[in-house]
Chains A and B, each alone.
Chain A
Amino acid sequence: MSEASPAKAYALHFGVIALLFVSSFLLPEYYHGLLARIMVLAVFAMGYNMLFGYVGLLSLGHAMFFAAGLYGAGLAVIQLGWSVPAAFAAGLACGVVLSLVIGLLALRTTGVAFMIVTMMFAQVFYLVILYFSVWTGGDQGMVVPQPARVLTFGATALDLTNPTVRYMSALSLFSLALLVTLAIVRSRYGRVLVAIRENEERTKMLGYDTFSNKLAAVIVSGTICAASGAAYALLFGYVGSNFASVQYSILPLLWVLLGGAATTLGPLLGTLFMYYVIDVTSGYTSAYLLIVGIALILLVLFFPKGILGTARQRWLGWLP
């Protein structure tokens, strides 16, 4: 990561955001909706990348953070009748609390044990959702009704079910998450995280408290994922337990690996690419799991750095 041109990096990121903004007016209806969904899920991938890419901690349980936001916001709207901003805040709060608790417990382990522990906590979370099906709707899930998804500022009302409003909300969340990630990665704290990834013992010897740095990273990562989940519940109106299943812990890993771990724009690129591949192939075959599986194996065998990671290595050393 060379420090040569912060201006170049910021220009690139604002360029991507501007491109997405312009796309809103150009895309046909179907892709317009798809892109809104991809942006929200890319935030999930960015949260995952924060921990996996920059700290080198491979978690197999991030679906629980996404689901914490999803259910936190969804239950607040459906069962408690809260307004949209309050529900979003509730989703975020669930993410913060959950990631604090999980971080404190899971960070006592390292390596393979960390993956298994996070996967188990996520499984417990998933089973708890099924167990309390009276409130959560179990495996049927819940639909957030349209009237509950209207944002009111005094006299103006923003209906989140309106495609344009939805796209712009997704874009705002995405831009915010992207800029926050960029700021963190470029900060002193971000460099400590990379140092931990490269050599934890040495970082410890340099006098850094690696445990609390990692814990903070888990919380940031979990909160970003929860923000994505909360936005998903409010923008797309569906809260379901399949979002808490192991598969949704594996998908962000796939997106990040594909786009390039430890690159700020990799998660977006990976999510976009994978959705596009699935979208194209599902026209020919319903066997999209096969594609996911083959993609994972080929990536890890021949392309371990992902698209942007390879690009950075070969041509664009300045990429953050």
Chain B
Amino acid sequence: MHFGPHLLLATLEGLVTSAVLALTALGLSLVFGVMRVVNVAHGEFFMLGAVLAWAITSAIGGHPALGFLAALVLAPLIVGAIALVAERLVLRRLNYNPEATIVATIGMLYIIQQLALTFYGPEARPVQPPFSYRILLPWFGYSGYKLSVIAASALLLIGTWLVLTRTKIGLIMRATQYDSETAQAFGIPVGRVYGGVFALGAMLAAVAGVLIVPISQAHYLMGQDPLLLSFIVVIIGGLGSLRGTVVAAVLIGMSDGIISMFFSPTLAKIIATLLVAMVLVFRPQGLFGTQAR
């Protein structure tokens, strides 16, 4: 292949990565923004989404689209419920103290990972895409499913944005983020908002996990990479900034796709991680962030 088509392929692959990353990072950013909790177990919710998608599709059978749609609805709900229970049992009792919650979510990470290993096993398992249409470009055929992942992610992001800016739920969330004590004084049930936000964040990660399974198989350790990349996106994008999160996800996903294709995936990760650490060191509010912390 010539350079042009090669670059196009790398760009498409990068966009798929960006789409999944934006969803995962948005969940992390919401939880971090509203609750001031760094959820280290976020990658495990992503993994749970993927693993549950495998379990649900293999339980249902029939046409692949049937099982996949069921997984797309059920897996995030289950993960959201798990997150809600974890929030009630652990995070709330810690009073959302930043350092204590980090240690606690590290604990959750290990528990979820071990349970996945015990009940699901160490092997990576594939899930059939709901449809196997290939779009024929002049130079190569490209998976229609991957393109639909980009579209689905865009729809979900727009949906989240509408909820945050146009609905009462979004208003309550923003009020809580802005000043939780005053919000409490105005009768907003801050505790319930926190529970809901934590579950919502986990569900976004789970949706991303379900979307990725037909492309890269479900594996119990698959949560590590998206966790780190999501941190990177959230930091570059700036806290609680939806626009920043999307821009940063596209930036990171594309550069990851392109550098990995032309050089090596490890080198791409080294460069991205180092750059972001430097951003955090020299510009802690992020590239698009408005509030300093």
Q: Which residues of A are at the interface with B, using a C-beta cutoff of 8 A? A: 58, 60, 105-106, 108-109, 111-113, 115-117, 119-121, 123-124, 127-128, 130-131, 246, 250, 253, 257, 287-290, 292-297, 299-301, 304
The residue among B102, B104, B106 with the most chain A CB atoms within 10 A of its own CB is B106
Interface residue ranges of B234-277 to A (CB < 8 Å): 235, 264, 266-267, 269-270, 273-274, 276-277
- By a CB distance below 8 angstroms, the chain A residues around B99 are 58
- A107: nearest residue on chain B (CB-CB)? B281
**Interface contacts beyond A112-B293, A120-B231: sample of 13 additional A-B pairs, CB < 8 Å, sorted by A:** A58-B99, A105-B281, A112-B98, A113-B284, A120-B232, A253-B103, A253-B106, A288-B114, A290-B118, A293-B107, A293-B108, A294-B111, A296-B106
Assess the B103–A300 pair: CB atoms within 8 A: yes
With a CB–CB cut-off of 8 A, which chain A residues contact B117? 287, 289
Residue of chain A at shortest CB distance from B234: A116
Instruction: Please state if B280 and A116 are interface contacts (CB–CB under 8 Å).
Output: yes
Write out the residue numbers on chain A whose beta carbons fall within 8 Å of the beta carbon of B293. Answer: 111-113
Which chain B residues have a beta carbon within 8 Å of chain A's beta carbons? 38, 90, 93-94, 98-100, 102-104, 106-115, 117-118, 224, 228, 231-232, 235, 264, 266-267, 269-270, 273-274, 276-278, 280-282, 284, 293
Which of chain B's residues have a CB closer than 8 A to the CB of A121? Answer: 277
Please determine whether A301 and B98 come into contact, CB atoms closer than 8 angstroms: no
Known A-B contacts A120-B273, A123-B273, A128-B270; the reply to A113 vs B280 at CB < 8 A is yes
B94–A301 contact, CB under 8 A?
yes
A131 to B266, CA, bound (A): 6
Q: Which of A124, A253, A287, A294 contacts B273 (CB 8 A)?
A: A124
Residues of B within 8 A of A119 (CB): 231
Query: Beyond A124-B270, A293-B114, is A108–B282 a contact (Cβ under 8 Å)?
Result: yes
B110 engages A290 (CB within 8 Å): yes
Distance in Å: Cβ of B8 to nearest Cβ of chain A:
27
A185 vs B90: C-alpha distance when bound (angstroms): 33
Question: A106, A127, A288, A296: which contacts B107 (Cβ < 8 A)?
Answer: A296
Contact A111 B98 (CB under 8 A): yes
- From B38, B111, B280, B282, give the contact of A293 (CB < 8 A): B111
Identify 13 residue pairs between A and B in the complex whose beta-carbon atoms are under 8 Å apart, listed by A's number: A116-B235, A120-B274, A120-B276, A127-B270, A131-B267, A290-B110, A290-B118, A292-B107, A293-B106, A293-B111, A293-B114, A296-B110, A297-B90
CA distance A108 to B281 in the complex (A): 6
**Min C-beta distance of B91 to chain A, whole Å:** 10
Chain A residues, CB < 8 A from B104: 296-297, 300-301
The answer on a CB contact under 8 Å between B100 and A300 is yes
Is there contact, CB below 8 Å, between A297 and B108? yes
> Could you say which residues of chain B place their CB within 8 Å of the CB of A289?
110-111, 113-114, 117
Nearest-neighbor residue (CB-CB) of A293 within chain B? B110
| Minimum C-beta distance from A25 to chain B (A) | 37
Closest-CB distance, A282 to chain B (whole angstroms):
13
CB neighbours (8 Å) of B284 from chain A are 109, 113
Contacts of A115 in B (CB 8 A): 38, 102
